[in-house]
Every structure is written in C-alpha cells, then in structure tokens.
Structure 1
Amino acid sequence: MGDDRPEPDVGMLTGTFMRAVQDELFETLAEQGHPDVRPRHGSVLAFLDRDGARATELSQRSGQHKQIVGTIVDELVQLGYVSREPDPRDRRAKLVVPTAHGLDEITRARAILAAIERRHELAFGTEEYSSFKAALQRITRLQRQWRDVREAQPEE
C-alpha cells in the first residue's frame, strides 16, 4: 500500500520547524529560570533592546497588531520582564523597557537560539546553511508582500 499523503507544503514545513525551535527554546528557558515565558511573549522580547521601544515600534518589528502587542506587554509587566517608562523623546509616549529579569531572559534566549543555529550549521555545513537562511529570508520578504501583489492585480 502506497503513502497517499501529499508532500508537506511551505506552511506545514515552516510551522513544524517553528514549533520545534520554540519547544527547545522555551523548555531550555524554563530550565534556566524563566518558566513563565511563552512563545507569544517572543513578539515583544525578541524585538526589544536594552533601551526599550515604543509599543508601535514593537508592533512594526514583529508584524503583530498593536492591540496584541499591548496585551503581551501587560502580561510581561505582570511577570516582571518589562516595565513601561516615559519616553525621554516624548513624555506623552511610553517605552517598553526590559527589567533585569527581562534582560536575563533576552540574553539567554539569544544564546539558546545561537546554539540551535550552530548545531544546524555544523550538520549542513556553513555554505549550505547560509544559503538556506538567505533563501528563507528572501521567501519571507516575498511572502510579506502578498497583499501588495494581490492589490496590484487587475480585477476580473
């Protein structure tokens, strides 16, 4: 009997890959003192630098709606990973700033992800892994343009 399952499409492949990376990342973070961080928190923490950023900037960087980012920031404030501080450039605006606990998580997450990348680079070789990442970045840029492409097409 043959296997009639279709070959995985790009959505299945990238989704499976993302979940596998997240599983390793968040299990390791939990072991290293950050058991409350969840994948959804990455849309803020992964895009946050030491000096902080406005929620609108985090929304743009992550591709998440501002309301979703606001909800995640609320959760991270409650968990002690970030605080809201006045923006010195515009006192009416607020910056989302990592706390010491947040900086520790960010540093550890980046180290874990770097180790994952090193492991894949060793498995595939530097040239092949670099080509894979470059292709994935190009595909991601193209995919992000789907709406522009669709809107530019004439209606039938």
Structure 2
Amino acid sequence: MPTDPPGFELPLRLLLGFRVLIDDLHAELARQGHPDMRPMHGFVLQAIGRGGTTAADLGRILGISKQAAGKTIDTLQNLGYVERGHDPGDARRKVVRLTPRGIDSLIRSAQIFDELRARWAAVIGAERLRALEADLRALTPGDLFRLDVPGWFGGHH
C-alpha cells in the first residue's frame, strides 16, 4: 500500500516545476535575442499590457510601491523593452508602454511556453497534463494576477 509523501513535498514540487519552466523559458529567450530578460520582467511586461499603464497602476497590479515600480520601469527602459510617454488625454500623466522589443519578448515567451507545455505533455501524456492543469485551476484563485510575485520572490512592498 503506497504511503503519501510528506506534506512539505507538494509546495516544493510545484515550485520546482515553476522554476524548471521559467529557467527553460529564459534559456530559450536568451537564444532568441533576449538575454537580459529576467523572470520578474515578464510579469511586469504582462502587467503593463498592450495598452500601457502608469507606474502607480503597475505598482498596484504587482503589489509593490510606486517607487519600486519606477525602478523596474527604468531597468526595462534601459534594456529597450518599455518607453515612457505622456497620456494624450492628460499631459500630467506619464504612461509606460511596451516597445516593439517588449512586444516581441512577450510573443516569443508565449510560443516558448506552448513548446514547453508540449514537452511536458510528451513526457506524462496530454490527458494527464490537462488533468493536472484542471486540478491546479480548481485549487487556485481564478485571477492569475493575484500571484503576488514580488512579495513571494523577494520584492519589496
């Protein structure tokens, strides 16, 4: 009769699965011309989205201070992934938008994640992977952006 593994193994396996996917993504992104992308950058670019946002709104979405968001925006601007501009509707409001390079990194990330998912399906089978995803959906909040990435992974509030 099989015995259950200790309870602490589950979060560690989930975290390891996350790290394997993210590490493999970044290795491939580097090969495809995005060697400076870091895991946090992807979350930030997703949060900025195609419509753009402000540093204050970005901070709220990611659960970090406006100042921390501003520093991250500076880094991404220096790397060519975002640009700052004025809101056409309100000249006092600074808007952060993705550059073509930023959009390219997100498009490539989506394609690479699909390839990585297909690799996992090849190992455990498509049915089991779909069941795993359905189980994780049932056990986690529906809003993907409730993942408090900066809080969990060493960011500052």
* TM-score range relative to shorter protein: 0.7 to 0.9
Q: 1:105 to 1:93 in 2, by over 3 A?
A: same
Correspondence for 1:86: 86
Equivalent-residue separation in structure 2 for 1:131 and 1:90 (angstroms):
47
Q: How many residues align?
A: 140
Superposition map of 1:1-156 within 5 A:
6=6, 8-141=8-141
1:9 shift after superposition: 2.9
Compute the displacement of 1:104 (Å). Answer: 1.3
Matched residue of 1:46: which SS?
A: helix
1:118 corresponds to which letter in structure 2? A
Alpha-carbon distance change, 106 to 134 in structure 1, aligned in 2, over 3 angstroms: same
Contact 2:42–2:106 (CA under 8 A) maintained in structure 1: no
Deviation at 1:60, TM superposition (A): 4.5
Q: Which runs of 5+ in 2 are unaligned?
A: 147-157
Pick closer, same or farther for the CA change 1:67–1:137 going to 2, 3 Å.
farther
Q: Percent identity?
A: 35
Aligned-residue CA RMSD in angstroms? 2.8
**Cα distance in 2 for residues equivalent to 1:57 and 1:69:** 9
Normalised by the length of structure 2, the TM-score is 0.72
- Helix, strand or coil: the match of 1:141? coil
Distance in 1, matches of 2:65 and 2:15, equals 20
Larger Rg: 1
Structure number with the bigger relative contact order (C-alpha 8 A, sep ≥ 6) is 2
Range with greater deviation from structure 2 (15-24 or 62-71):
62-71
> Are the aligned partners of 1:43 and 1:69 in contact in 2 as well (CA < 8 Å)?
no
Partner of 2:140: helix, strand, or coil?
Answer: helix
Deviations 1:52-81 (A, max 9, x none): 223344344445554433221110011111
- Partner Cα separation in structure 1 for residue 6 and residue 127 of structure 2: 30
